[in-house]
Chain A
Amino acid sequence: MEFLSDIASLINSTLRISTPLVFAAMAGIFAERSGVIDFSLEGKMLMAAFVAAVGSYFLGNPWLGLLLAIIACVSLSMLHGFASVTYKGDQVVSCVAINILIIGLTTALAAAWFGQAGLTPTLNEDQRFLEVNLPFAESLRDIPIVGTIYSDILSGHYIFVYLAYLSVPLVFWVVFKTSFGLRLRAVGENPSAVDTAGINVFAMRYKALAINGVLIAFAGAHLSTAVNANFFREMSAGRGYLALAAMIFGKWHPKTALFACLLFGFTDALQIRLQGVELPAIGEIPVQLIQAIPYVLTVVLLAGFVGKAIAPNAIGQPYIKER
């Protein structure tokens, strides 16, 4: 029985840990499908975490914090678009600039406003999101298997966890079943053909980046107003890059990207579970090496040993309209 509850708690934490990755990967799909590289997911996630925590602290409502985070992330996306779509600057350089800027700015402002440690104040119950218990979770707990799945795995997550997994079919529908999605993909594959058809390439890319900003804001708010009750320095800890790797590994497709995110989430849940555990034959693995597992996994997956990924054709190239 202990084994079963171990498994249940592992799956439970996998779902929770994967949540920001799923939001970020979905955000990445919009930007990259439209032909704009987005390495700045990391910086935007961090910005959202900071703004959501600060906003919710001052306004006393986590939803208002989330709203501010969305505004901040969409603005950063617009900045990225301004540099790389309108001014045709290098997209990777623009992302690196945003990431470094946000790492510095969030910590610097947190330190300036709330003291040297660079932490924002701990949010109380009114200022943060709480776990959502699904109906009847308590009374169904004792039913074997079904009860475990429903009460211990599916119930009791933060709202963002449910939203993240709901966003996947939604993104799939938008990208693959609507005319907006068709145009979006076309802009990333062959912008000049789209331009010939009378669709504004620049406007499409800006729209894609705006959606990207909204989605990534949820990832950051999840980190600072749900799982944790404050913002701390570099709390995104590379998740933006992991999500991007998951998206590439998932071939820029929501469904496969979701599985890649869950794989990362599972590895992370496992590494937390493995810390300090004596393994048969190997003994205890040093904690620093265990913590490196998700990063090593990213490199291995990206190396395409499980299948080669093909990016949207026009990715990374600014569109230059002929006169």
Chain B
Amino acid sequence: MAPVDKSKVPWWVSNLIVPLVNLTLALLVSGLFIFIAGENPYEAVRLIIYGSFGYIEGFAYTLYYTTNFVFTGLAFAVAFHCRLFNIGGEGQAYIGGLGVFLVAINFSFLPVPIVWLLSIAGAVVFGAAWAFIPAYLQATRGSHVVITTIMFNFIAASLMVFLLVDVIRDTAQMGPHTVALPKEQWFPSFKDFAGLFGVKIRYSPLNISFLLAILASVFVWFLVWKTRWGYEMRAVGHNTQAAIYAGISPYKNIIIAMCISGGLAGLLGVNEILGVHHKIVAGFPAGYGFTGIAVALMGRNHPIGIFPAAFLFGILYQGGSEVTFDMPNITRYMFVAVQGVIILFSGALENLFRPQIESFFVNRLNMKASA
């Protein structure tokens, strides 16, 4: 099929219709998996919708997961604009959580809002530092950032378990986790807010980190599209040779893009440590870093796309836990597989039906114009 003239394709076809078609395909294949696992896909969909929207605690959980996915999705997207595959969000978030905890516990004599700000900075700095080494090696030695960031995920996991077992473990307890932070440092949760309005709910992990996620999205939008640096970074990503010719240093931009990416992934630690666990628990990033890849690809690497994509994955996670609760044959790994399918259809196979869909709409618009 002859490719259509890109400039004639309306924005809503390439940015809305095509992703929705791809998503639908991915969900159909996922339904097939659920069927193979011996459960009813329709029933699973019903449970997902009930679990994520059906009651207030469930919806709060959906927004809590959304918060995490916004952070890791933005992290992947920023690096991707520089054509870097930061698969290391998982490790960067883990180390970011360490930053949050160390700052919060060591500066507990300061007023709480200042501790919060410093902890957020700690998350960003630690996450960025963990991304810096792969970035540096990519920029100077050409070692592929995919392999190094994956290795840094493994190394971060080993390092954190070592720290949690041998160095910063709460010795009064058995499990591999630290002591809890002082209660006044905990982020106000959705439960507290609901209490102010007289609404009584059970436990909720949703907390003010959600606002931080909105701020981070605005920040990324401004940084990537409205600053000179964002322009340079995108130029390196699009065409490194042309960028060098224009006097832009790929070396500098690769390192900055990866560090910002790592810093954003580190913010996941803020949500998990200050907002939910109030201590470092072994393995707290729980795959959110990898989900960020799917979120970013589905959201076409733009904050306006990433936010709804993160929300969709929030629905999938929270609704998914409802499914695993009610369907004995489905475990949470089924939803890891679903993520893989979504990455496949909205990332690698995004051109599967794009030419057909685009030329369909362009032809229809042409007919309208000539009629």
* B159 with A102: CB separation less than 8 A: no
If the complex has contacts A104-B338, A295-B158, are A93 and B297 also in contact, measured as CB distance less than 8 A?
yes
User: Within the assembled complex, what's the spacing in Å between the Cα atoms of A102 and B338?
Assistant: 10
Point out the residue from B147, B155, B161, B352 that lies within 8 Å of A87, measured CB to CB: B352
* A39 with B146: CB separation less than 8 A: yes
* B331 with A107: CB separation less than 8 A: yes
* A100 with B37: CB separation less than 8 A: no
* Residues of chain B with a CB closer than 8 A to A102's CB: 337, 340
Task: List residues 261-303 of chain A with CB under 8 A from any CB of chain B.
Answer: 286, 288-289, 291-292, 295-296, 298-299, 302-303
B293 at the interface (CB under 8 A from A): yes
* Residues of chain A with a CB closer than 8 A to B335's CB: 104
Point out the residue from A39, A88, A98, A303 that lies within 8 Å of B340, measured CB to CB: A98
B241 at the interface (CB under 8 A from A): no
A248 at the interface (CB under 8 A from B): yes
Most buried by A among B146, B294, B349: B349
* A100 with B330: CB separation less than 8 A: no
A169 at the interface (CB under 8 A from B): no
A140 at the interface (CB under 8 A from B): no
* Residues of chain B with a CB closer than 8 A to A248's CB: 144, 147
User: Within the assembled complex, what's the spacing in Å between the Cα atoms of A82 and B143?
Assistant: 27
Most buried by B among A90, A108, A303: A108
User: Within the assembled complex, what's the spacing in Å between the Cα atoms of A41 and B290?
Assistant: 17
**Cβ-closest chain B residue relative to A109:** B37
* A104 with B333: CB separation less than 8 A: yes
User: Within the assembled complex, what's the spacing in Å between the Cα atoms of A100 and B153?
Assistant: 15
Task: List residues 139-184 of chain B with CB under 8 A from any CB of chain A.
Answer: 141-144, 146-148, 150-152, 154-155, 158-159, 161-162, 165-166
If the complex has contacts A83-B344, A245-B147, A298-B151, are A96 and B158 also in contact, measured as CB distance less than 8 A?
no
Q: Closest Cβ of chain A: how far from B344's Cβ, in Å?
A: 4
- The size class of the interface chain A forms with chain B is 35 or more
A121 at the interface (CB under 8 A from B): no
* B344 with A87: CB separation less than 8 A: no
Point out the residue from B137, B152, B154, B339 that lies within 8 Å of A303, measured CB to CB: B137
* A292 with B158: CB separation less than 8 A: yes
* B151 with A295: CB separation less than 8 A: yes
Q: Closest Cβ of chain A: how far from B350's Cβ, in Å?
A: 6
* Residues of chain A with a CB closer than 8 A to B146's CB: 39, 92, 96
* B344 with A304: CB separation less than 8 A: no
Task: List residues 68-120 of chain A with CB under 8 A from any CB of chain B.
Answer: 79, 82-84, 87-94, 96-105, 107-109, 111-113, 116, 118
Point out the residue from A91, A118, A245, A304 that lies within 8 Å of B141, measured CB to CB: A304
**Cβ-closest chain B residue relative to A305:** B141
Q: Closest Cβ of chain A: how far from B310's Cβ, in Å?
A: 17
Q: Closest Cβ of chain B: how far from A263's Cβ, in Å?
A: 15
Q: Closest Cβ of chain B: how far from A97's Cβ, in Å?
A: 4
User: Within the assembled complex, what's the spacing in Å between the Cα atoms of A238 and B156?
Assistant: 14
Point out the residue from B144, B154, B161, B330 that lies within 8 Å of A108, measured CB to CB: B330
If the complex has contacts A288-B162, A298-B151, A302-B148, are A104 and B347 also in contact, measured as CB distance less than 8 A?
no
**Cβ-closest chain B residue relative to A101:** B340
7 A-B residue pairings within 8 Å (CB atoms): A90-B347, A96-B347, A100-B337, A108-B330, A118-B333, A292-B154, A302-B141
Residues of B within 8 A of A (CB): 33, 36-39, 85, 87, 133-134, 137, 141-144, 146-148, 150-152, 154-155, 158-159, 161-162, 165-166, 290, 293-294, 297, 328-331, 333-341, 343-344, 347-352
